[in-house]
Chain A
Amino acid sequence: MFRFQLCSYLGLSLWILLSTPRVLRADVPVDFQSEVMPMLTRAGCNAGDCHGSAVGRGGFHLSLLGSSPARDFAAITNEFKGRRVNLKHPGESLVLKKPTGYVDHGGGIVLDEDSAAAALLERWIAEGARETAQRKLVQFHIGLSSGNSIIAKGQGGLVRALATFSDGTQLDVTDRVTWSIQDKDALHLDTTTGELTALRSGQHVLIARFMNQVKPLMVLVPFNRNPDELAVDYDLSTLHRIDQEIVGKLMQLNLEPQPRASSATLVRRVYLDLTGQLPTVDATRDYIADTDPNKYTNLFTDLLGSREFIDYWSFYLARMLQIRPQAKSDTAARAYYQWIRQQLQQQPYNLMVRTLVLSQGTIEEQPATEYYRTVRGAREQAELTSELFMGVRLRCANCHNHPLDRWTQDDYHGLAAVFAKVRQGARVQIVSRGEVTHPATGAAAIPKIPGDRYINVSSDQENVDLRVPFVNWLTSPNNSYFAKSAVNRIWSYLMGRGLVNPVSNMSETNPASHTALLQWLADDFVDHDFDIQHTIRQIMTSDAYQRRVARNASLSQQVFYRGYLARPLPPEVLLDAISDVTGVATEFTGFNATTRAIQIPYQDIPSTALDAVGRCTLEQCGSVVNAEITIAQRLQWINGALINDKLNGQDSFLRQLQQQSQNKKISVEKLIQELYVRVYSRLPKQTELVFWRNQLTEEASTGKQIDIIRDLLWSLMASREFGSQH
């Protein structure tokens, strides 16, 4: 059976550790950083809604979750005239009497006076309340003592946290760690004993914080097997690498993968994912009839080489980069979009990003400079860059070290400093002055590669472009964020959900559902020169992509890719599909009549049609593509122009059908088949055919046939099947 390497390693070392008695000697003084501080965090003293808030609480300010021990030491021992600690009578110290409730405390009683934590604090004061940092934390691991990350529902396991310090000591710190569980109804943890109980099936995350580190532990709780489902024993070694991970996890969870989807389903799926269009009636019929065993591979290979593929994936890139028109003109936005298209055709992803980040000059000289006109300010540029190309959100680290991730204020302001000398105007250029202030020091932030080294700049290098060392690091094959972030986006476009979800939030506390798979996809992407099409090919080749939708499966099961994830079509794609089915194009002000919705470079174009299909503008939802469809929009579908005008249009499909049928009578059955292939890209099932044949025949007496067909066509387009990628 497949097993996490990390966990088995951990289990082993924990086992060794647990078999050796923990050393707690009275002659070793209490350490401030590794003992007192974690205790304060665990008691919630330095949480964001307590003394850890930006201005502290009740005049007592601690750094958020203990990110700055030196400052906290000063706050505890020096501020308030030193009254917080009483060296002569440690028990009288305010820092002890308040949380135990002896003195009125706004936060109530947070420490039991008889607890080990209170005793620790008192002993630390008795020993002189020294700012000791005897040991630095080198490594921090958490795991189940079984060495296995699987717990049966209703059963328990023992969680252990293991810290390795710079002085070589290894300690079981389970009772010092601050634990949190994302889904409290799924797991229960006794934070003193480390006993973990699984309450719900699925994959759940337990997060441990100790000193300056945060670590997640994923726990798998298998589902009860549905007795109707036959267990299939998969030989993982014969599967595509992607399926080894997907099926491996499904087996661990007791979930049966769905079988392969039909030809009709696959031709629609692949067309929509690669071109944003429905297959034509002919393409659908041809594909279904094709007997070539390689027809599926041929299908996506051909489409990857099409112009429509470039159109549609440029749309993804354009939305990702948040192209926006200027108030009076969209010339720059259009040039930028054309540049993106060209890059997608000609350049691997890493080189595209490199050009983008290093761009200089006017929009005419270098359309990519529009990247520096997307947001204003060095900090915002740092946030945008890290979110788009590393998939991480640095924003929290503006005011304090990121509470849920590894990012520090130095990282945030250091990356902002990288962009500080970029002038973001009509001509993007490097200027000699420009810095960002680090709020903790009040001085200019030192440029830094996030999570990595500081960039040394000597004073004579005034116009040095700090973006160069940054982008070298960013797009390097060894960067652990860049490729992962890219393949995670590609995966989410094709599979309906990122391995890390949401895609812009890759963090220590939001681990991938399939860690090894994400790593493999990233490595494979790097090995193939950051070729987007290569990764698409890999994913489309996998069984996971070709499965049937798992109907009626709950979301908690769907996230494991048991079947293909059905999802609403992106609004632009839906609108284009309506235009294609009705044969009447949608017009967009400022664009020629043949422009499709997905070919518009930016989101913020006035269009009631796009509003009605549920798009959202940049202002409404940032880079999120789908808004939810509302009742008001549905009123427009029913009574508004969106569909009605298209159904009645001069050259509409219905008019043509009407003319054809005047020349040659079409049978009801043929008509139904024609509509199904046109709208659903499949032939009707026998039950459907019979139903509609009877229905249409029956109603023929109540109205004109064309009216009835028009109503059916409307309903087909309004239906869930048409509006879904499935």
Chain B
Amino acid sequence: MDKRVHSRQLSRRDVIQIGTLAAIGGGLHPLGVGGFDLTSRVSGDDSVKVSNGKSCILIWLDGGPSHLEMFDPKPDAPAEVRGPLGTVATSLPAVRFGECLEKTATMADDIAVVRSITSPLGEHNFGTHYMLTGYKPTPVLEYPCFGSVLAHRELQRAGGHVLPPHIAVPHFRVGGASFSGSGFLPDSVRPFSVESDPAKPGFKVKHLQIPNGLTGVNVARRKKYLEKLNQFYGVADATDSDGFQEAFKLIGSREAQIAFQLDQESEQLRQRYGRRTIGQSCLLARRLVQRGVPFVTVNYKGWDTHNDLVTRLKDGYVGAKTPVGLIPSLDLALSALIQDLKQQGMLDDTLVVVMGEFGRTPKLNTRGGRDHWPRVFSALFAGGGVAGGQIIGASDRTGESPKDNPITPADLAASIYHLLGINPATQLPTSDGRPVRLTPAGSRVISELT
């Protein structure tokens, strides 16, 4: 059963739009925690069903994850290629993952790994732009990432959502942080960064609640006045509000407040995801997707491992008894996420993508690390109708170049759009009104994935 809650219907039922509050006037009184106390609230009975297309959780491994220690190990290669870590068998015959992915390895039947992604861009910003938009960066136009494209579609066909349609956990500073995400699309589809660490005790989105001394009446009036002032100034479109419109919506919504309350999840489940940032971020992502958010970017930083792979990828700190480095933490979070989505009946409608801007050099460097390597690297897909239990494409003996079925980031973007039910040849207009294809001409959907 699809347990997702339909946010559009809820928002109508809950009458949480601040605009309407102003009309009610002074009848409301200030509330401390919890936003406006309105007559109805998010129903817990999950009776509202949704089938408005698929959602996506992108786990972005910022900095460039090593394909050789993760999804494309080379156990038979010479030591300087093989690296310091071992491998682990998966539920697929003859397919091995890096040793730190032991939990994910048991779920290989639900997973498709693409091992032959190839790109010429080995610099963080450029690679990130290419992977997240399907376009190589150019000085004339910034393209939107697929999260914002999906958000755009959602806003166009539905509108009125309370939760922003693209949310980044904990934030969207990717690839050197010079990338807005929304590209040439309006600001309203820029990813909403939570900005707080979901793993911290007492996690909450800062400033979501109206503080003491202010009331809903004040906030509603400010919203109304601001809209009027911007209208006087000649801002033609009310959605072009520098983020205020979205912020007001969030503040006025009980539903939004609840969406971010991780402590509503059982302790056992929170533990299963792992108590580190990546784990709790993935759990939050599931909560958000469950409430109708079409795209969540989980931004997991720290993968630019130029030195000391053992500590950074596996152990986490020198002398760790239990490995808590980048990969084991991801392993815990990712496997819990897939399992949880499955249990909630959400996996078929939720595409999970795990990738970064490039891979790492086949040969270890002198500092026990690996440098940038875009010529071949891997990405993982699960859910969302992806045909699991397969490895697509292959790299050569040393993980240096694609051996067969080379797949470009443009192909990858086309495939993600396709899986999410969007034709990659769709054109969106820039602010100048010129139509731009979602992915470059010539990009192709990876047929094996679907």
> Measuring CB to CB, which residues of chain A are less than 8 angstroms from any residue of chain B?
47-49, 53, 57-58, 106, 182-183, 185, 200, 510, 551-552, 554-556, 616, 620-621, 624, 628-640, 644, 648, 685, 687-688, 691, 699, 702-703, 707-708, 710-712, 714-716, 718-721, 723
Given A200-B434, A639-B251, A715-B225: A630 in contact with B233 (beta carbons within 8 A): no
Given A691-B228, A711-B221: A631 in contact with B193 (beta carbons within 8 A): yes
**Which chain A residues lie closer than 8 Å to B428 at the CB level?**
none
**Which chain B residues lie closer than 8 Å to A703 at the CB level?**
26, 217
Given A551-B234, A635-B208, A640-B207: A711 in contact with B243 (beta carbons within 8 A): no
**Which chain A residues lie closer than 8 Å to B119 at the CB level?**
49
Contact between B434 and A182, CB atoms less than 8 A apart: no
Complexed CA–CA distance, A710 and B215 (Å): 13
Contact between A629 and B242, CB atoms less than 8 A apart: yes
> Measuring CB to CB, which residues of chain B are less than 8 angstroms from any residue of chain A?
25-26, 119-120, 138-141, 164, 173, 177-178, 180, 187, 190, 192-195, 205-211, 213-214, 217-219, 221-222, 225-226, 228-230, 232-236, 242-244, 246-248, 250-251, 375, 401, 431-434, 436
Contact between B248 and A638, CB atoms less than 8 A apart: yes
Contact between B211 and A639, CB atoms less than 8 A apart: yes
Complexed CA–CA distance, A636 and B232 (Å): 25
Most buried by B among A53, A552, A638: A638
7 contacts between A and B (CB under 8 A): A183-B141, A634-B244, A635-B207, A691-B232, A699-B221, A702-B26, A718-B226
Contact between A633 and B243, CB atoms less than 8 A apart: yes
Known pairs A631-B243, A638-B207, A714-B225 / 13 extra A-B pairs, C-beta < 8 Å? A53-B375, A183-B141, A554-B432, A624-B178, A632-B207, A635-B205, A639-B210, A688-B232, A710-B218, A711-B222, A711-B225, A716-B229, A718-B244
Complexed CA–CA distance, A551 and B240 (Å): 14
Complexed CA–CA distance, A691 and B224 (Å): 13
**Which chain A residues lie closer than 8 Å to B248 at the CB level?**
638
Sorted from nearest, which 4 A-B pairs have the closest CB atoms? A49-B120, A715-B225, A634-B247, A635-B207
Secondary structure dominating the interface of B: loop
Contact between A552 and B432, CB atoms less than 8 A apart: no
Contact between B180 and A715, CB atoms less than 8 A apart: no
Q: Which of B178, B209, B234, B242 contacts A634 (CB 8 A)?
A: B242
Q: Which of A53, A556, A702, A716 contacts B432 (CB 8 A)?
A: A556
Given A182-B140, A635-B251, A691-B228: A708 in contact with B221 (beta carbons within 8 A): yes
**Which chain A residues lie closer than 8 Å to B226 at the CB level?**
715, 718-719
* Minimal Cβ-Cβ distance residue in A for B138: A182
Closest Cβ of chain B: how far from A58's Cβ, in Å? 8
* Minimal Cβ-Cβ distance residue in B for A611: B195
Complexed CA–CA distance, A179 and B194 (Å): 45
Q: Which of A555, A621, A624, A635 contacts B206 (CB 8 A)?
A: A635
Complexed CA–CA distance, A616 and B178 (Å): 11
Q: Which of B178, B221, B230, B375 contacts A719 (CB 8 A)?
A: B230
Most buried by A among B187, B230, B233: B233
Complexed CA–CA distance, A57 and B406 (Å): 14
Closest Cβ of chain B: how far from A222's Cβ, in Å? 16
Contact between B139 and A620, CB atoms less than 8 A apart: no
Closest Cβ of chain B: how far from A44's Cβ, in Å? 11
Contact between B214 and A723, CB atoms less than 8 A apart: no
* Minimal Cβ-Cβ distance residue in B for A679: B229
Contact between A644 and B233, CB atoms less than 8 A apart: no
Contact between A53 and B120, CB atoms less than 8 A apart: yes
Closest Cβ of chain B: how far from A245's Cβ, in Å? 23
* Minimal Cβ-Cβ distance residue in B for A181: B140
Closest Cβ of chain A: how far from B373's Cβ, in Å? 10
Complexed CA–CA distance, A629 and B138 (Å): 23
Complexed CA–CA distance, A185 and B432 (Å): 12
* Minimal Cβ-Cβ distance residue in B for A685: B232
**Which chain B residues lie closer than 8 Å to A49 at the CB level?**
119-120
Closest Cβ of chain A: how far from B31's Cβ, in Å? 13
**Which chain B residues lie closer than 8 Å to A699 at the CB level?**
221
Complexed CA–CA distance, A47 and B136 (Å): 15
**Which chain A residues lie closer than 8 Å to B192 at the CB level?**
630-632
Contact between A712 and B213, CB atoms less than 8 A apart: no
Complexed CA–CA distance, A552 and B237 (Å): 11
**Which chain B residues lie closer than 8 Å to A720 at the CB level?**
229-230, 233, 235, 242
Closest Cβ of chain B: how far from A553's Cβ, in Å? 10
Contact between B214 and A182, CB atoms less than 8 A apart: no
Contact between B222 and A648, CB atoms less than 8 A apart: no
Closest Cβ of chain A: how far from B179's Cβ, in Å? 10
Contact between A639 and B242, CB atoms less than 8 A apart: no
**Which chain A residues lie closer than 8 Å to B242 at the CB level?**
629, 634, 720, 723
Contact between A620 and B177, CB atoms less than 8 A apart: yes
Contact between A634 and B211, CB atoms less than 8 A apart: no
Complexed CA–CA distance, A620 and B301 (Å): 14
* Minimal Cβ-Cβ distance residue in A for B227: A715
Complexed CA–CA distance, A183 and B242 (Å): 28
Contact between A635 and B434, CB atoms less than 8 A apart: no
Complexed CA–CA distance, A57 and B118 (Å): 13
Complexed CA–CA distance, A58 and B403 (Å): 11
Contact between B233 and A640, CB atoms less than 8 A apart: no
* Minimal Cβ-Cβ distance residue in A for B374: A49
Contact between A712 and B139, CB atoms less than 8 A apart: no
Complexed CA–CA distance, A699 and B235 (Å): 25
* Minimal Cβ-Cβ distance residue in A for B230: A720
Given A635-B251, A639-B209, A640-B206: A715 in contact with B229 (beta carbons within 8 A): yes
Contact between B243 and A721, CB atoms less than 8 A apart: no
**Which chain A residues lie closer than 8 Å to B222 at the CB level?**
638, 711, 714-715, 718
Most buried by B among A58, A185, A640: A185
Complexed CA–CA distance, A630 and B187 (Å): 9
Complexed CA–CA distance, A57 and B374 (Å): 13
Given A182-B138, A708-B221: A635 in contact with B247 (beta carbons within 8 A): yes
Closest Cβ of chain A: how far from B377's Cβ, in Å? 14
Contact between A555 and B431, CB atoms less than 8 A apart: yes
Most buried by A among B205, B225, B228, B251: B225
Contact between A644 and B208, CB atoms less than 8 A apart: no
Complexed CA–CA distance, A599 and B246 (Å): 33
* Minimal Cβ-Cβ distance residue in B for A716: B229
* Minimal Cβ-Cβ distance residue in B for A620: B177
**Which chain B residues lie closer than 8 Å to A555 at the CB level?**
431-432
